[in-house]
Structure formats: C-alpha cells, structure tokens
Structure 1
C-alpha cells in the first residue's frame, strides 16, 4: 500500500452499508464491540454474538458488558443491532445462528471473526512443556477453533453472490509474527487466523468473496485501561510505568479500519492479505478519536531492531 487508494466512506448522515448484513462474532466488549458499532454507524444490520447477557455472565471471561448492550449501541449509532447468544465452540449453535440470519435477511455480507477470550489462560515466562496443557488446548479452542467453526457455517451464506468480506481478527501482521510471540500457545493462536485468511482467500475467492486478516495495535480496551490504573480521560498517565503505552489506540481505530474495508468496492485487492489498522489508516485516511494515526507496527519494529524506544510522536 502506498498513496491513499480512496477515502473512507462518509458516515455523517450517509449510510454506505445500508442493506448490508454483518456478523461480528464475540462482540461483547473491546475492539469487537467497537467494530459492531462502527458498522452500525455506516448503516449495517449487525448480528452481535457472545455469551455474556443481562441474565447470564460468561464463566470464561466474566464482564459487566453484555451482547444486548452492544446491540443497543449499534442501533443508537444508526444501524440495526441484533443480539444472539452463541457459544462459537458449539457447532449446532453457530449453525442455528446462520440459519436464523438466512431466514431473517437472506444474505450475509460481512463476517468478523473476533472471538478470543484466552488472556486469562496465558502463562508468560514458561516453556511450552511447562505450560498447563489443558490451558493451552483451551487457548487454541477459543482463538482458533471458534473461527473455523463460524466460517464453516457462515461462508455458504456469503458466497451466494460476489462482494462478501471475511475479516480474521488477530494480533500482529504476518511479517511481525515471524518472530516468536511467547508464550507458545499464544503464538499458535495468533498466527492461525493469518493462515486461515490466506486459505479462505483461495477457496472463497473464486466466488468473489474477500478474506483477510487484520490486527489492531496496542488497543486501549476496558481491560487494558484497568490494568494500567487509568481511564480514557487520563490514559497518558499509563506512560509513566510503560513508555510504549504512548503508542496505544482506542478500539475505535480498528473499528474504523474494518468499516473502511467493508465500504471499499475494491476491497478484493486485499484478498489473502495480512493488514494492520495503522497501515489502513494511511490507505483510507481515517484517524483515531484524537485525530492521530498511530502506526505501532512500525514503532515496535524500530524498537525491537534498535533496542531503544523511539519518540512516539514520530509514529502517530
């Protein structure tokens, strides 16, 4: 990607995704919730899935956020949010969801595979053979198996007509992830979506469906803000304990990246690509909520190459 290919769709009043149907898998909180809302802002009907509801909190990653709240935020933003309780490890539940979408909408235009929920299982500082095997298997079930189960049932609905988009959300681009991403099971879980996108690009591409992988940078989710003991209003205070926190971005940044892709009539040029929100900001011209365009991939590449933290101002 070099010079900007096109500007992102103007969603101030315009609804470039009106009539389009999206499924954001794992949209209870964080980046996936922001993606669902931004797609709604562009006019899409968005099915948001998860296991945390007002009546039942997920036992894997307990949270105050719920899928009903996400759906309401989508509708408030200008789309139509539809909450669906789905455990994406259960094929019959995913199949029922896609059958419901088919019955209610007749088509599916955008799939965002964003299910993760493995942070609490990570064991940093341990060798592969020292890690708890059951935890490792759970990481792969949550971060990999959920993705291909969802694609298995969603793609037959998406390939009926050209123009559909599959976004495999991960952590790190293909180039960045050539390094080992400790611990072992995290490395596997975050590289797998990149390979899945490449495979789906080959298999679904002949039907006019685009598949790609996409990574945010250092995302300031609710959990990250809590970890650093800051709020969105004073997030820069977190730089006192971790200078690299200056390169962090809001969940809206990755959401704007997905929406720019979903509204791009020439998105097929990215089929099989491994993309980052920072690179797409240059391609489409969108920014984070503060007007900056963080490029953490380039920042951390410089940091890891030189061993010295660059000035974050040069990478925003």
Structure 2
C-alpha cells in the first residue's frame, strides 16, 4: 500500500463511525484529502447518540498520515448538502471519490416485528435515512464527481445483491427496503455516470466489528474473540479496517470501471486485491453466512478466513 490516491479529493458522507470511518481513514492513509461529514460533531449528537464524532474520524486520518476536514451536515437537509457542495467546489473544484455511508437507523429496526407492530415514524425514518438522504447527496455532489472522468461513487449498504434478493427474515420491512435500495441506486448511478467516464457501485462489509457491536458484546478489537462464547458466529467478523482497505484498493484501481453497477463486498475485493484484515486473515463473511450460519451449521470459520 502506498500513496496512490495522493491529490485525490474524497467525501465520506456519514463517516462518523463504523465502516464509513474505516473507509475514510484508509482513503486518507493512501493520500486522498477526505471530507468527513455527519451529524455528530463536537457536542452535537445525532439520534444514534454515540460518542464518536466526525472530528474524531479526521483525527484518526491524521494519525494515519493523511489529511481531511470535518463538516457537520445533515444529509436529509438539501440546503446543508448544497452548502457542502459549494464549499468543496470552492476549495477543490471537484470530487474524485464519493462514499455515501449515511445511515443512523439502527434504533428503529424492530428486529423481527411486522410493520404494523412498529412505530410508523421509525419505519419511515429508516427509509428516509437509507434512500432519501442518499438521493439528496447524489443530487448535489454528483455534479462535482463528473467534473473529471474516472470518478468513483460507493453506495454503502448491508448485504449483497444476491442475499438481499429475498426478504431478510429477522429484520423488518423498513430496514430491508432501506438497505436493498442501495443496489438499485448504484445501478441507476452507474447508468447516469457512464457517459462521464465515472463508476458507481454498492458496497457491503461483512459482520462488522463496529464500535457499537464491540460495545454490545462487551469486548474490544484486541479481545473480540471473547464474544464467541455469547455468539459463536461472530468468528467470521471483520474490522472496519478491512472494508476500508478494500474500498481504498478499488479507488486506486485504474480498471475499477469493470465493476460499475455491481454490489461488491469486502471479502470479494480482498481476494481480488490481495488484502488482509488487521489480524492477517481474510474473512469471507457473506459466503460464510450463506453456507454456515443460515443453514444452522455449527460455527466454524476455518475455511472462510
């Protein structure tokens, strides 16, 4: 890994935590200037109500030897996203890499409950966060992406297109619709960007060891395997660095347009680009979920990482 993205301008929308934070850090590590946007900034908190901030992400980019700027933006507010576009245009005149990781809807999921048993406001909020915010962001920022051929747009989601082709039993209608929409958003963007020489994909991590997930299991990145006592299938989990490295490799690939319109995943790109997670392994989470977890087999990631 080198400085292949030096001189590139990246935006990671929703880069406060999780996969998006991991991607922002790795893009910065590889030389891109990264605008990190989100709602949790300073003392301001989004409904997620967690301590991670966009400034914290930029600090980690700096620790990795990169540069970036934190900009507080609610991506459901068109005026705020328009102001972000104006600032980037003024400061850099273009966007080379746009990663849309906006979410924040976990508290509304209502695992396994039918839509009529869940608060309607929460269901609609998930859909707005997963669809409306992404469309608003595309409307205002894609004109900066098409300034030069070669731009890359990454729509973050949860699940491969194949896995989400059927309803995600155990989730909920609002979550499923919000996440499955990313596949179609990427398809549409790929078509609209094609004549400008730009690429659009959807991207999913596997079972992510996000800050919230580690906290949920009462572990840290250093001792995460202690969580296997409570959830054996957590053995296939991956750090945010893994998906970050995968996306950074994609952004540095001069032949990335071959993927346009597809939904990619971290395990898939790790094989293509010869990328490992922080522990030296290469988890293939979605294959594991399909072949081991969902069929009800005993947890064993031996052949999957």
Q: TM-score, normalised by structure 1?
A: 0.93
Q: Please state whether the residue corresponding to 2:303 is helix, strand or coil.
A: helix
Shift of residue 310 of structure 1?
Answer: 5.1
Match of 1:289 in 2: 278
Shift of residue 305 of structure 1?
Answer: 6.0
What does 1:82-101 align with in structure 2 at a 5 Å threshold?
A: 82-101=69-88
What does 1:157-196 align with in structure 2 at a 5 Å threshold?
A: 157-181=144-168, 182-196=171-185
Note the alpha carbon deviations across 1:168-190, whole angstroms, 9 max, x for none: 00001100111211211111011
CA–CA distance in 2 between the matches of 1:16 and 1:306?
Answer: 41
RMSD over aligned CA atoms reads 1.1
Contact 2:233 2:300 in 1 (8 A): no
Match of 2:56 in 1: 69
Q: TM-score, normalised by structure 2?
A: 0.97
Contact 1:299 1:310 in 2 (8 A): no
CA–CA distance in 2 between the matches of 1:309 and 1:31?
Answer: 27
Structure 1 residue ranges (4+ consecutive) displaced by more than 4 angstroms after TM superposition: none
Count of matched residue positions in the alignment of Structure 1 and Structure 2: 303
Q: Does 1:201 align with 2:190?
A: yes
Note the alpha carbon deviations across 1:33-52, whole angstroms, 9 max, x for none: 11111100000100000111
* Unpaired runs of at least 5, structure 1: 1-9
Match of 1:246 in 2: 235
Contact 2:267 2:284 in 1 (8 A): yes
Q: Call closer, same or farther: CA 1:158–1:312 in 2, change over 3 Å.
A: same
Match of 2:135 in 1: 148
Note the alpha carbon deviations across 1:8-55, whole angstroms, 9 max, x for none: xx22xxx11111000000111111111111100000100000111123
Contact 1:28 1:67 in 2 (8 A): yes
CA–CA distance in 1 between the matches of 2:211 and 2:130?
Answer: 20
CA–CA distance in 2 between the matches of 1:278 and 1:246?
Answer: 14
CA–CA distance in 2 between the matches of 1:204 and 1:224?
Answer: 35
2:108 to 110, 115, 121: 121
2:125 to 138, 141, 144: 138
